[in-house]
Amino acid sequence: MLPVRADYEAVCSDFVWDIPVHFNIGVDVCDKWADDPDRLALIYRRRDGSRRDYSFAQIKRLSNRFANVMARHGIRRGDRVGILLPQSPETAIAHVATYKMGAVAVPLFTLFGVEALEYRLGNCAAKALVTDMEGARKIAEIRDLLPALEYVYVVDGKPDRCFDFKSLSAEASDHFDPVHTRADEPALIIYTSGTTGQPKGALHAHRVLLGHLPGVEMSHDFFPQDGDVIWTPADWAWIGGLLDVLLPAWHHGVPVVAHRFEKFDAQAAFGLMAEYGVRNAFLPPTALKMMRAAGDESAAGYTLNLRSVASGGETLGTELMEWGRRVLGVTINEFYGQTECNMVVSSCSVMMDPKPGIMGRAVPGHRVAVIDGDGYEVSQGQMGRIGVRVPDPVMFLEYWRNPAATQAKFVNGWLLTGDMGEMDEEGYIRFVGRDDDLISSAGYRIGPGEIEDCLIGHPAVRMAGVIGKPDPVRGQIIKAFIVLGDGVKPGPGLADDIRDFVKTRLAAHEYPREIAFVDHLPMTTTGKVIRRDLRDMA
């Protein structure tokens, strides 16, 4: 755990990694807490609104049973097990069981279509899959294209060529001897969101959980504290839901609220946090923007008990920070990372002054720098590539069966995040944009994030995406794609007003010379704007 100190420098100087030779995620997040039969692990809100609680002792018993089911079917150490489920008890049980067996979990998003599932399950040669009836229907279409997939366990039924998860588990033994895994042994494959080409499988070791802990603790103002209860709308299929929330919380024995929103709704999110006494929340920027766009009245009538809110994935601007203080009652802590190397930069409102538009500083235990193309650190205030020093316990092992892509990810002892940024004299890092998203206009290098943040500050704008459009004179011009708020009508006068709004708040060279009003923006399944699609549209 991070030492609780009054200032950042003291926390960094007193922090030391303690990574054991042997470590197993499943044992760590479940079995070590199971001796207390009443210790609460999961608060599950069903689709009908009813509640069911699970203790760590129950999760241990249920995960042991399912581990025995898979072992009886020949699933062995190193085999890949796909998990295609929403936030639910069975999702957590399947993860814990897979880790205890020494197998490799492959979380999969429930909104994936058959082509996305075929690619990922085929690429990792998954031997087993845990899913529900909805997922089983998709798998039935591609089953014959997945020769390695021998066992499909369904949690709410038993369709053809599948196994009944619950009935088999009910017949299995409560006792299971976990595999004595090494900390650097493979534990899971999380596929990237595919913003730049075909998704790649980031292979992580069991130690990845330990590597996440300082960033989670820092972004939640020294998590955990007495009474903490954590929730996120982010799906557990992504690193943000799984390794920023579920597994770190269970490492610390903190209860997690689980609920699947069929479609994210701001008022429902406020209601859920109030009803279950959520103290800590990871709210991705897209969720925050939707909650803000719904208006302050959407939170009216709900008494929130939030102690910390963390957000990561895109840079937050002044508008969202001010809204968070006013409506959520906390200063939102921004953090930074990616599927391959997560939670390496963070802000922390209790020990450093927040700076809107600035991600934060390097999390203790991680060395983060801004470097040039050859892997050498650049001067303070100079734009360059954000890199993380090797080795690092949170860092991925490799891209699954893709040595060329793995090699291209590193230079001169640094992992390249693929993002551009700047570092100031205090070590604060400003995210500028993906290296392929930067706009070069009339000699200026411009990141889209700051402009997007400014645009959503306009009262008519709900969402915005910004790209550089080729221009024979300037090289590129800034073009904005804008989703308007309810009841707002587009028109030339509104476009001019939006341009002036940006021009007077940022700089004359950063306003969008072209504005397109659209019904929606192309987004990844993790809620990030796919700017290459916007560039194609432009």
Give the tens place of pLDDT for each residue, 462-503.
999 999 998 887 778 999 999 999 899 999 999 999 999 988
- Is there a common fold for 52-206 and 437-537? no
- Which range of 114-118, 364-368, 489-493 scores highest in mean pLDDT? It is 364-368
Neighbours of 287 (CB within 10 A): 21
User: Residue 264: which residues within 8 A CB-CB, separation 6 or more?
Assistant: 233, 287, 290
**Average pLDDT over every residue of 185-192:** 96
pLDDT digits (tens, 9 = 90+) for 201-222: 999 999 999 999 999 999 999 9
Helix (H) or strand (E) holding 463: strand 461-471
Is the pLDDT at 304 greater than 60? The verdict is yes
Is the pLDDT at 195 greater than 60? The verdict is no
Listed by start position, the domains of the chain span 52-206, 437-537
Q: How confident is the model at residue 316 (pLDDT cuts 50, 70, 90)?
A: confident
User: Residue 115: which residues within 8 A CB-CB, separation 6 or more?
Assistant: none
- Could you tell me where the beta strands, DSSP code E, fall in 313-413? 333-338, 341-346, 361-362, 368-371, 384-389, 398-399, 410-411
**Average pLDDT over every residue of 342-369:** 93
Lowest mean pLDDT among 239-243, 268-272, 373-377, 432-436: 432-436
Determine the pLDDT at residue 505.
Answer: 77
Check if CATH label 3.40.50.980 holds for domain 52-206. yes
**Average pLDDT over every residue of 156-180:** 97
Architecture of the domain made up of 437-537: 2-Layer Sandwich (3.30)
**Average pLDDT over every residue of 73-89:** 98
Query: For residues 171 and 473, what is the distance between their CA atoms, to the nearest angstrom?
Result: 72
Q: How confident is the model at residue 193 (pLDDT cuts 50, 70, 90)?
A: low
Determine the pLDDT at residue 526.
Answer: 67
Q: How confident is the model at residue 443 (pLDDT cuts 50, 70, 90)?
A: low
pTM: 0.86
Determine the pLDDT at residue 144.
Answer: 96
pLDDT digits (tens, 9 = 90+) for 385-423: 999 999 999 999 999 999 999 999 999 999 999 888 999
Is the pLDDT at 525 greater than 80? The verdict is no
Determine the pLDDT at residue 121.
Answer: 97
